[in-house]
A and B are shown apart, each in its own frame.
Chain A
Amino acid sequence: MAATAALSTRLRNRRPALNAFRKAVTRKPGRLIGLGIILFFVLLAICGPWFYGSLAVDPNAIYAAPSADHWLGTDFAGSDVFQEVVVGARYVLSTAALAALFTSVLGITVGLLAGYHRGFLDSALMRVTDFVLTIPGLPLLIILSTVWSFGSPWQMGLVLGLTGWGGVARAVRSQALTLRERGFLEAARGLGLPSRHIIVKELLPNIAPYVAMHLLLSVIAFIGAEVGLFFLGLVPFSSTNWGVMLNQAVFSGGAMNSPDALVYLLSPLVCILLLTLGIVLFLDAIDELFNPRLRERA
C-alpha cells in the first residue's frame, strides 16, 4: 500500500506535464468526452485506410438501405458508405491538421518576433501580415485548382495554411506587446538572458493557452473550408473524402428530395458535427493545461 503510494508519487513527480494533462482532462466529463471523440477520429484517420485499402463496390446494390452488409448503406455507384466515411477521414483530418500546423508555426513565429522586438522588424513583419490578410483564400484556391489537383492533403493544407496565418500573427503580436512590459520579461532582459530564451521560455508559455485555443478552433474552420470547397465542386475530386461525399449526395444522389441518399448525405455531416463537438468540449481544458494556477484548484 505504502509502496504503491510512494511509487505513484514518484511517477507523478517525474511526469508533471502528463499528470497535469490527466488532471485537467478528467476534471469534467465533458472534456473527457471531447478528448475521446477527437482521439476516435484521429485513430480513424490513421488506421481507417488500412482496413479498407480498396473500396468494395457492389453494382447490384445502389443506394441500398443500411443493412448488416452495408452498415450505412451504399452510394450511387454501390460503394459502401461506412467504408467511404472511414477512408475519407484521413484526407479531411490531415489537411486540417497540416493547415493548422502551418498557420500556427508561421503565425506564432511572426507574431512573437514582431511583438518582442518591435521597431523596424515589427513594421516589416506586420506589412507582410497585412498583405497575407488581404489575400482572398477562396478565389486563390479556385485558381490554383486549375494547376493542382489537390489530391494530396499537403497541397490543400499548404494553401489553407499559407493564407490563414495572418490573424494568428496579429493576435500573438498584441499579446506579446502587452506581456513585454510585465516585470518578469523586463527582469529577463535585465539579467541579459538571450532573446531566444526569453521568447521561447518566458513569453511563449504565457500565450500558449491562447495559441492552442486558436489552433483547435482553426482546425474546425479548416475542416469547414475544405469540405465546403469539395461540396461546391470548386476543386477536382481526386480522392475519397467527406466533401466529395456531400457533393455527390446532393448533386448526383438528389438527397434533398429523395430519401434514398439521405444516409449518404448525413454520414459525413454527422462526422463533421461530432468532431466539432469534440473539439469544442475539449477546449474547456486548455486554460487549465497551461495555467499552473488553475491546474492547482483540482
Chain B
Amino acid sequence: MIEARGITRTYASHGAFTGARTVQALRGVDFTLPAGGAVSFIGESGCGKTTLGKILTGLETFDGGELVVDGVELSRLKPRRRAEYFRRIQMIHQDPYSALNPTRPIEATLGAPLRMRARQTGADPAKWRERASELLTLVGLEPEAVLPKYPHQLSGGQRQRVVIARALTVDPQVLIADEAVSMIDVSMRLGILGLLRDLRSRLGISLVFITHDVATARYVGEGGELHVIYRGEVVERGLTDDVILTPVHPYTQCLLSAVPIMRGLEEPGPDRTAPTRALDERSPTPGCLFEPRCPFATEECFTTHPTLVPLDAGPASAARTGEAGAGTDTAANTDAETDTGAGTAEHQHACLHPQARRVVGVEIEVGAAST
C-alpha cells in the first residue's frame, strides 16, 4: 500500500545574523504498510513524527528517498497526478479543536468533500446527505443530532469522530493518525482507538499511528508494527508487543520507562531507566544520535553510527557504518514487502550494545495484592 524508502527532510533556518543552520527532521525513514496493516511511530516531541505524517499526506515535501503508493513512485509524478494518490492517504489531526472549521456546521464540513468525491466517482452528488449519515453512524455518532451542529457544540471526543468521518469522505485506504487522542480526555481515548481498530478490520483501512504515548499504540490492532523514532531516525522496530516487552535500544527503554505505573495494579519494571539529560539538538553526535543522553553509552557510541540490524544478528555482527548497514536495510525491506503484515515483522534495532531490559510495569494479581 505505502512503501517509504529512505525518506529524508532537512529544514534550513537562515537567520539574518546567526548564519544558516540546518535541522534534519527525518534522516532516512523506511517502512512498509500493507493494506489493512498498522504501523505506529513513537518518539518524543521534535523527533520528526509530525513531519513524517505531513509528508505522507502530501502536505509537506521530502528531499530524499522514495515514497511509493500502490506501486507508483510519487516524486516522479506531476503534482496534478500525485493528488489522486494522496487522496488515498488521509490525516486525522492531533487537535480536534482546530481541525474543524468553527464557522461551518458539520453538514457543510462533510458535504463539500462528499460532493467532490461523488463527482470524481460519477456518483450522484445530491446523495451526499445519505452518505454523511452513513459515515457518522460508522464513527459512532447520531447523524440527525450532529449534522446541523457547529464544532463548538460538540465534545472533544465527538469532534475527533467527526474528523475521522471527514477523512473517510474521500474513500481513503490509509489513515494517518497524528497524536489522534492526546488532546482528548483519557476516558474518551479508548473509544477513538477502538474506532480506528474497527475501521481497520471492517473497511480494511491501513493505519499509520503517530504518538508519544506507547500505551495507546497497543490498542490500534493486531499485527501492528512499532517504529521508535529518535531525531528523525528509526532506532528500533518490530511487532508492537515484541518491542514493548523486550526493548533493546536504550531510547526505547527510556520511552517505555516513562509510561506511568498504575500503582496498586502494576509495579515498576526492574530495569526502569531514564535519559541522563534533556534533548539538545546542538550537541555534536558523530556516532549514535542518542549517545549524549544514553545511560549506557560507551566510547564507541560516540564515534560509530549504528544502523538498523536484526535483533538475532547479535552485537558482534551489528553493522558498524556505511555500506554494510545500507545493505542490511534493503534486505530487511524486501523481506517486509513480501509478507502481508500479520505477525512476521522482524525485530530490528540500531544500537551497538543491544540488551533487552524489562522496563514496563508488571501487572500485580489484585487478589494477591489486597491481602
Binding site for B on A (CB under 8 A): 182-184, 186-187, 189-194, 197, 201-202, 205-206, 208, 290-293, 296
Contact = CB atoms under 8 A, between A and B. Distances in A.
Contacts of B98: 182-184
B58 to A, nearest CB: 7
A65 B153 CA distance: 61
Contacts of B169: 191
B91 interface: yes
A193 B83 CA distance: 10
B152 A192 contact: no
Given A183-B95, A184-B98, A201-B112, A190 B103 contact: no
A71 B158 CA distance: 64
Specify which of B90, B112, B150 lies most central, judged by the most chain A CB atoms within 10 Å of its CB: B112
A190 B152 contact: no
B137 interface: no
A296 B105 CA distance: 13
A193 B91 contact: no
Contact of A291 (B99, B103, B116): B103
Contact of A190 (B91, B100, B116): B91
A292 B152 contact: yes
A206 B101 CA distance: 8
A205 B113 contact: no
B170 interface: yes
Specify which of A191, A292, A293 lies most central, judged by the most chain B CB atoms within 10 Å of its CB: A191
B21 to A, nearest CB: 22
Ranked nearest first, the 9 interchain pairs of A and B with the lowest CB-CB distance are A183-B99, A205-B103, A183-B93, A183-B98, A184-B101, A292-B150, A293-B152, A191-B113, A190-B57
A207 to B, nearest CB: 10
6 contacts: A186-B91, A191-B113, A191-B170, A192-B87, A292-B150, A293-B152
B244 interface: no
A190 B102 contact: no
Interface in B82-136: 83, 86-87, 90-91, 93-95, 98-105, 108-109, 112-113, 116
B93 A187 contact: yes
Contact of A202 (B86, B91, B101, B153): B101
A189 B91 CA distance: 10
Given A183-B98, A184-B99, A197-B112, A190 B59 contact: yes
Nearest to A181: B98
A205 B104 contact: yes
B197 interface: no
Contacts of A193: 112-113, 116
A192 B170 CA distance: 9
B113 A186 contact: no
A184 B96 CA distance: 9
Contacts of A296: 150, 152-153
Contacts of B104: 201-202, 205
A39 to B, nearest CB: 26
A206 B116 contact: no
Contacts of B166: 187, 191
B86 A187 contact: no
B116 A292 contact: no
Contacts of B87: 191-192
A127 B166 CA distance: 38
Contacts of A290: 103
A292 B102 contact: yes
